[in-house]
Structure 1
């Protein structure tokens, strides 16, 4: 495979900026939180990751950093501190894109179901490629850590190829797919599913 070129990185930056603006408008990337990535090369693994510390609603094509399979920068700029976890998810799952946002419902659901969020008999599960009936999906939940290696090991220990999402307790959600559009669709479905599950669980008052 040919090496990644600057035009590749610029195009990836434009795609990531557009996706980040969409999530920021939903309130899922408040402040400078969250990060997105796309895989540019597989062998060796190379990803374009949104730069750290920037308002995700105001990114431009230049606000992206090329990183290696360990999340280390290969181009100017500072990648998200979570770039290593993006790389681990892409390597293990085979995903072409990984998105990380701070939407409320999945994190709140992880607080209630810290061993994994159970989802069943809901039409929106089709968005995960799962059956709408009789197919229990348990979204993994892992404890938060500032050590990306620790988070990566926790992700890999609970990884299931048919469940393309992970919730980091009291932190945020990761979802992945073949490309940014599929990752977004899965994230949107997860937000709906966890909101429904939370608000209809026994003993939960409907807001």
Structure 2
């Protein structure tokens, strides 16, 4: 596999290794099949800089250098030494960071997120579940709505839809027919939020199939 060369700085490689490890974890769960999905981590705020997994690579086989530094618009940073190209959705990662202050963003292509996005285009409602504590919500007597937005190949359009639908109480959004975006203060929190929201989606899908 041909990797994406970064600046070679130990800190960049270390962050790239962390992204590769998280990608391998999600790929093992079947949430990043083939080359689908992408992850990012913030490396600077002024100006905004992110490391994003490179496009077109198997997310279960990434190495520490298979990442691309990008700017606030999701464009590869000139002179940063990146030989590959960032994910096509890097601009949406940057938009999420700007809107939420997140330190890391995860995008996975799961069956439950795609299926429930089609079934509940107006948003997916959860309540009275202990698992909601994993995203900082109450397990009882609180209605939690996970937004669902229509897909677009234009990242500006998709970003506008996300901004309009964003629920500040929920660290995630479903893109109909596409997959799930989640985020957190760092990679660890973003992973936990992804696992929790995906569990909720899988439960909702299972219950709907059983009706």
Distance between the aligned counterparts of 2:173 and 2:194, measured in 1?
A: 10
Task: State yes or no: 1:25 paired with 2:28.
Answer: yes
SS state at 1:174 partner: strand
Deviations 1:37-82 (A, max 9, x none): 0000011100000000000000001100000000000131200000
Q: Please list every run of at least 4 consecutive aligned residues from structure 1 whose deviation after the TM superposition is greater than 4 angstroms.
A: none
1:16 aligns with one of 19, 43, 47: 19
Distance between the aligned counterparts of 2:11 and 2:72, measured in 1?
A: 17
Give me the TM-score of the superposition, normalised by structure 2. 0.92
Distance between the aligned counterparts of 1:109 and 1:86, measured in 2?
A: 22
Task: State yes or no: 1:91 paired with 2:94.
Answer: no
SS state at 1:145 partner: coil
Q: How much does 1:106 deviate?
A: 1.8
SS state at 1:121 partner: coil
Distance between the aligned counterparts of 1:84 and 1:7, measured in 2?
A: 25
SS state at 1:49 partner: strand
Count of matched residue pairs: 201
Task: State yes or no: 1:191 paired with 2:194.
Answer: no
Distance between the aligned counterparts of 2:161 and 2:127, measured in 1?
A: 24
Residues 146, 167 of structure 2: 8 Å contact kept: no
Unaligned residue ranges in structure 1 (runs of 5+): none
Task: State yes or no: 1:152 paired with 2:159.
Answer: yes
Cα RMSD for the two superposed structures: 1.4
Match of 1:38 in 2: 41
Name whichever of 100-109 and 146-155 sits farther off.
100-109
Distance between the aligned counterparts of 1:156 and 1:146, measured in 2?
A: 16
1:169 aligns with one of 151, 165, 176: 176
Deviations 1:107-126 (A, max 9, x none): 21111110101111111000
Residues 106, 190 of structure 1: 8 Å contact kept: no
Unaligned residue ranges in structure 2 (runs of 5+): 1-6
Q: How much does 1:170 deviate?
A: 0.6
